Structure formats: structure tokens, C-alpha cells
Amino acid sequence: MSAQNQQRRISTTDILAQKGGDPIVALTAYTAPMARLLDAHADLLLVGDSVGMVLHGMETTLPVSVDMMVMHGQAVMRGSQKALVAIDMPFGSYEESPQQAYRNAVDIMQRTGCTAIKLEGGRHMAPTIAFLTSRGVPVMGHIGLTPQAVQVDGGFKVKGRDEERWTELEADGLAVQDAGAFCVVLEGIVEPLAARVSNALTIPTIGIGASSACDGQILVSEDMLGFAQRVPKFVKRYAEVGQMIDEAVGHYAREVRDRSFPGPNHVYQSKK
């Protein structure tokens, strides 16, 4: 495809402009084939560190490395043309200092060509977000249930059940916004608080296990397509692709064993 005909990717300013407008459609993507399927429908594709659990069988996201995120980010960039692609900064790649975060963010962006990075944390990460955005690194924030803090939290726990903590979570959102993030994920936050935070912010909020009042929604694609047997409460399964794969592979296995595959249409013959 020539440069003249190549479709322009959605930008961070396009996402910002959707605040209070058409909801942002976001999904995770980890591979080129999946990115190709999602690209026409999504405004934003997130190469999440959830790849460690979804594709690599890890128990948490903590073992995921920068190189792993780069590899999957490169694949998603190859498979997409329209959607903004953001890549998660994995655990340990940004918490030490703003300088460490900048080095790793630039490394990820340069090696993948992605538009933005995402990092977890509210007020305590605001100085790092400000350091990055002031130096040309677009940042997608993430507050509420932050999977990289699973060991500190003692599991994947919903946030905001105690109304006395609501002001703290709202302050996290405002801090991320004021630091320059162009949008923020609200994960695992009770519905009324998620709606309140979304209404309080001037940047778009993207919910996952949050509220329909958010400016957009994101799900792990494999969860909503039915690959996983167990999914969180907030996931709606839009298809049962896992079951379809099981049935298709079972059919293949039977035909291999009874020698009906390959058939005449699937083999090559010599010239007569």
C-alpha cells in the first residue's frame, strides 16, 4: 500500500476529542492475526501485559518483560492500520524513577512504532507521567484495580466498596489527568464511583469492570470471545470461539485417524 493510500491511525487527540461523545471502543491485542480482525472495529488496541496470563500461561502479569511487550507490540502494529496502539509498560520497567520510565518507554516506542504507552498508578505515579508527557511520550493512565499490585493488594480486589476511600480514587484520576495523560483506564471500580470519576475528569475514561458512564470500554479480546473457561464478572462473552476450536480440532482429529483426511482435493498428483 502506498503512503498516499495508507489509512491514518487514530491519534491521542482523536481519543481526547471523544470525551463526552461517541464511546471509545478498545480491546486488547497481542498478535498480528487478531489485530487484523479487531482493527476495523476498535478505536484503540492495547497490547496489555495481560499477554503473560492469556497467551503464556502465567499466574500474574508480574513476570512479563519489556522484550515480551515489544515482540507482541511489533506484531500488533504489523496487523493493524487504523486503531491507536498503546503498549503496557510491564512491572519493574517504570516504578524506580521517571528516568527509568522514560528510557523504557522510548525503547518500546522506537522498537514498535506504537503511539502511546500505558502505566499503572495514580497520585504516586503522577510525577512520572508528567516527566514522560513533557518529553513527548503519550501516556494512558490506569487506576483502580491495578494487576501489577496484586501481591500488595492480596489478590484482584474491586476498589471503592468502602465509600470513605472514594475521595482517594477520585484524586488518583485527577492526578493522572493533571500530569498529562490523554486517557485513563478505570478497572474494577464500583459503578457509582466509576461514574463519578468519569464525570469529574476532562480526559476520557475507559472502563473495565467499572461503569457504562465511562467514555469507553475495554475487554480482553480472548475473554469476550470465549477462549477462557473462567472470566471475571464484568466480562460479557460475545462468542464461544473456544468451543468452536474444540469442535473443529476434534473433527480434524477424527478424520486423520480414520484416514478420510487428506482427501483427493488435498493432495497433489503427478502429471499424466
CATH of the domain at 84: 3.20.20.60
pLDDT at 20: 95
The model's pTM is 0.94
Total number of domains in the chain: 1
In a domain, 7, yes or no: no
Average pLDDT value for residue range 136-155: 92
In a domain, 251, yes or no: no
Binding positions: 49-50, 88, 118, 120
pLDDT at 5: 56
pLDDT at 19: 98
In a domain, 77, yes or no: yes
109 close to 101: Cβ distance less than 8 angstroms: no
Question: Can you tell me the distance from the alpha carbon of 167 to that of 150, in angstroms, rounded to the nearest whole number?
Answer: 22
**Average pLDDT of the chain to the nearest whole number:** 95
pLDDT > 90? residue 110: yes
Question: Can you tell me the distance from the alpha carbon of 223 to that of 233, in angstroms, rounded to the nearest whole number?
Answer: 11
The two beta strands, 216-219 and 205-208, are: parallel
In a domain, 263, yes or no: no
In a domain, 267, yes or no: no
pLDDT > 90? residue 123: yes
In a domain, 198, yes or no: yes
83 close to 44: Cβ distance less than 8 angstroms: yes
In a domain, 4, yes or no: no
pLDDT tens profile 77-93 = 999 999 999 999 999 99
> Among residues 125, 120, 130, 126, which one has the least CA distance to residue 159?
120
pLDDT band with cut points at 50, 70 and 90 for residue 1: very low
Question: 3-17, 169-183, 188-202 — which is least confidently predicted?
Answer: 3-17
In a domain, 101, yes or no: yes
For residue 214, what are the domain limits?
A: 12-240
pLDDT tens profile 208-255 = 999 999 999 999 999 999 998 889 999 999 999 999 999 999 999 999
The residues carrying an active-site annotation are 187
Binding positions for 3-methyl-2-oxobutanoate: 49-50, 88, 118
Grid coordinates in use for 136? 513527548
Percent of all residues in the chain with a pLDDT value above 90, rounded to a whole number: 89
252 close to 244: Cβ distance less than 8 angstroms: no
